[in-house]
Amino acid sequence: MVGLRLVTLDAVPIERTHACVALTVRPRPTVLSSPAETLIEAGVEAGLKVANEGFPDRNYNPDGTLVSRKEAHAIILSPDAVAIHARDLIENGILFGDARVKVDTLCLHGDHPHAAQNAKALHDVLKI
């Protein structure tokens, strides 16, 4: 699978531009994005394959958005807790109010202080 992850900017309605860029790539990529971002909707509207990303090293707000990194509890620090969160995301998806959205792919942040340990913990718990 060829994946394309483009970060959206709050001040610019750029998701449609991202979808148009993705349409020019061959083979057509799968658009990866948090289900809380409008890029998923734009990808679907453009006829692209989309995949909802889950972030096992980050905590979520009740509305399905990521807790701001300005908050002390935004990042999950323990590799074991990251692995448990990954399994929960895979099995239960992301809670958006009263609904759950399926997670298609997981993304670990490379700037996490324990990025390598998190990857190993995921490997061990998911048996990949």
Nearest CA to 108 among 93, 127, 95, 121? Answer: 121
Distance in angstroms (rounded) separating the CA atoms of residues 105 and 25: 21
Res 1: pLDDT: 46
The pLDDT tens digits for 81-125 are 999 999 999 999 998 878 888 999 898 988 888 999 999 998 898
State how far the alpha carbon of 24 is from the alpha carbons of 5, 6, 39, 86, in Å. 15, 14, 16, 32
pTM: 0.75
The pLDDT tens digits for 29-49 are 787 888 877 777 877 887 878
Whether residue 3 is predicted with pLDDT greater than 50 in this model: the reply is: no
Whether residue 2 is predicted with pLDDT greater than 50 in this model: the reply is: no
Q: Rounded to the nearest 5°, which phi and psi values hold at 106?
A: -110, 145
